[in-house]
Structures are given as structure tokens and as C-alpha cells.
Structure 1
Amino acid sequence: MNSDQKPDMVTIVIQHDIRTGSQSDYEQWLKRILPIAAEAPGHRGVNVIKPPAGTNRYTVTIRFETLEYAEQWLASPARRDLIREAAPLMEQQEKVDTITGLEFWFTPPAGQPQKRAKPWKQFLLTLSVIYPLTLVLPWLLGPVFGAVPVLQHQLISKLIAAAIIVGLMTYVIMPRYTRLAQKWLFN
């Protein structure tokens, strides 16, 4: 990515391997840090994935508006102090990855080896969703566009269709679709 370009959304993926018997203390610690993170500038949401059976790895994903906001949170004194406090609960130092753009759709689920999906598989999976959406959605929206004169302008109708497709891809379809296809995707 060119240094002048700024990603629209950044996700920090943090993995903590917790010492056996320390899970309860760690979860109490999480209850304190999550509201503090939520107050950070540019914060857009958080998700905690508890360890699959037989493991002690918690995965925390935090979304921010920009890379700058994400970096500010990671370097903040409040976070540094809280991580120092949680260090005795962890088997090793935390692992932190910063993911920008569409890459987040193709992150292996917790408990799987952290390898990247092959680009050609990412391409095929994304195409298999976008192609049908670009065929069906404009057709479904056609009556709405026809009924409202301002929406008949091609630039406006295409913008609306594209915004709906991107929203569906980001928040509805791809998180579920990549989970469904994970065996193929990460093999």
C-alpha cells in the first residue's frame, strides 16, 4: 500500500495464550480493558473469541477507523499498563497483527495455524459472491430506481448498488462465507 493511501478500516488481531488455571482472572481483566479500548479515538468494535476446547488461546479483534487510530491505541500508556498487569496470566508475550482492507475476510479462525489463504482462492471466493450480487441486486433494485426519478441517473443508481454490495460483503456475507469455506480456503 502506498504511504499516501489510508485504509478505510483497520483490524488489530491480538492473541493471548493464557496459563492453565488463569482463564477466570484473564476474563476479569478483559472486562476492564474492553471498555477502555472502546473509548479510544476511532474505535469501531471489538470481538473476543474464547479458546476452542483443549487450548488456552484467546483471540481479540479490535476495529479502528484508520491505521493511525489503531497505532495510537497500541502505543497508549493505558494499554501498556494493562498489558503489563496481564503479563503474569500469559504463557508468552502477546501476538499482535494489524490487518487492513479485505485481508481480514481471509484470516484463519482461532485455533488454526495462522497461514494466509492463497491469493487465487481469495479471488475465486470473492468473485463467487460479487458476481451474483452484481447481477441480482441491480435487477431487484430496478423497480425502486424506476419509481424515483433522481435514482434513475446511472451514477446514483450504480453508487447505491455498489454501496449495498460492499455493505453486504463486509458485514453479512464474507464473514459467514469464509467460515463455511475455511477448510478449502486454508488448505
Structure 2
Amino acid sequence: MEATVPGARPDMVTSVILHQVAAGMRPRYEQWLARIIPVAATFRGHRGVDVIRPPEGSQTYTVAIRFDDLACAQTWFQSRTRQLLIDEVEPLLAQAEQVNTVTGLEFWFDHPKGMGPPRPYKQFLLTLSVIYPLTLLVPLAVRRLIGGLPLLQPAWIERLIVAVIIVSLMTYVIMPRYTRWLAAWLRR
């Protein structure tokens, strides 16, 4: 596991794991995957796992596992539990797993090795298509919710609350799903 990404904050860690499954081993790999995901969830700081199954003609699984911070991710990656599970899956893989650890918002547009990143205009359009509606809807919802609370009335507090909600939704809810949904378009 790479210890850090230059200039990155050591929190909100996502590790992207690529598994090139050997021919004919997908059913056994899927069984192994169904076992390891709940095990990882028992580790401190675990925030979830996304599995991107191979497109037609490929055998490469992309597994994104998220943790609260770098220390939590390292605890999982260095654990005896994970090592035993990796030892078990290695015969099913055509090559050793590849792990890349990213922090914060970088994961939105992470790409498998050998493939270039999505074109900048596509990253721009995709991000804009999420942020613009959020900047319209979230402030309205916040004003309705805090309308009667005098301590939260200063404009800077309302804007801070709006920013926290938008960034949280982008990072943890919308972008991981949206980029997965539009992955084929992003890679074209």
C-alpha cells in the first residue's frame, strides 16, 4: 500500500484495489469477495466498499474501500486477517493485486493503471452537473431548517452549513455513485 499521496491530507482515505482475475475464476473470486467485504467492515474507521465489476471483455475488478483516515486504512491493510484472505485469493488472480491509496476528492476521477484520466472537460461537466443543483437546493433546505434559530442566523454560519452539506454529499454520497454510473462515458 502506498503510504500517502504527495500533498494529500491523511484523512478521508480511499484505497483503490485492482484485481485481474484469472480466466475461469470469476465465480470463485465473487465468492471470496462476498466474504472479505463484511470482514473489512468490522475494522475501525471503515466507511464502505464499492466494487466495480469488469466490463465485457475484461477480467479486472476495481474495489474501492474507504476509511476515516490513513491510520485506519493501514490497520486493515497490515492486518493478519487481510493477509490470510489475500493469500487465499492469489491463486485466483492472473497477477498480483495493485493498490493505490488516494485521499479526499481525488477518488472521484481515479482511473485504472494503463488508462488515462477522463478528459478535463468531462470531469468539469460531470462535477458541474452535481454541484449546480446542490447549490440551488441545499441553501433552500438549510434556510427552511434553521429559519427560526437565532444563533444560526448570521450569513457566514448559514454558508458554512451549506458548504459542509454540499461537500459531504459530493464526497460520500453522490460522486462515488455518479462516476461509477457514468464510467463508460468518462472513459470514452
Q: Normalising by structure 2, report the TM-score.
A: 0.78
The alignment partner of 1:65 has SS state of: strand
Decide whether aligned partners of structure 1 residues 114 and 145 sit closer, same or farther in structure 2, where only a CA change above 3 A counts.
same
Distance 1:40 1:156 in 2: 35
Deviation at 1:73, TM superposition (A): 1.5
Aligned counterpart for 1:64 among listed residues 64, 67, 73 = 67
Moved more, 150-159 or 68-77: 150-159
Alpha carbons 2:44, 2:72 under 8 Å: kept = yes
What does residue 55 of structure 1 align with? 58
Q: Give structure 1 regions of 4+ aligned residues with deviation exceeding 6 angstroms.
A: none
Are positions 1:31 and 2:34 aligned together?
yes
1:104-143 aligned at under 5 Å gives the runs 104-108=107-111, 113-117=114-118, 122=123, 125-126=126-127, 129-130=130-131, 133-134=134-135, 137-143=138-144
Q: Against the structure 1 CA distance between its residues 181 and 32, is the aligned structure 2 distance closer, same or farther, given a 3 Å change threshold?
A: closer
Aligned residues: percent identity?
52
2:18 match: 15
Bigger shift: residues 157-166 or 133-142: 133-142
Deviation at 1:44, TM superposition (A): 1.1
| RMSD of Structure 2 on Structure 1 (CA) | 2.9
Q: Measured at CA, do residues 35 and 134 of structure 1 come closer, stay the same or move farther in structure 2, by a change above 3 Å?
A: closer
Counterpart Cα distance in 1 of 2:26 and 2:184: 29
- Residues 133-183 of structure 1: per-residue CA shift (max 9 Å, x gap): 445533453344433322212343122211221122224443355456656
Secondary structure at the counterpart of residue 51 of structure 2: strand
Q: Deviations over 1:80-104 (max 9, x none)?
A: 2221121111111111111111111
- Structure 1 position 56, deviation (Å): 1.5
Once residues 29 and 124 of structure 2 are traced to their aligned partners in structure 1, the CA distance between those partners, rounded to angstroms, is 38
Match of 2:94 among 91, 95, 102: 91
Give the AA of the match of 1:6: P
Q: 1:154 and 2:155 equivalent?
A: yes
- Tell me how far 1:13 sits from its aligned partner: 1.0
C-alpha distance 181-43 of structure 1, shift in aligned 2 (>3 A):
closer
Measured at CA, do residues 180 and 38 of structure 1 come closer, stay the same or move farther in structure 2, by a change above 3 Å?
A: closer
Deviations 1:19-56 (A, max 9, x none): 11111221222222222211122111112222222221
Unaligned 5+ segments in structure 2 are 1-5
CA-CA distance at 1:14 after TM superposition: 0.9
Q: Unaligned 5+ residue runs, structure 1?
A: none
Question: 2:64 aligns to what SS in structure 1?
Answer: strand
Aligned partner letter, 1:87: E
TM-score of the two chains, using structure 1 as the length reference: 0.78
Map of 1:168 onto structure 2: 169
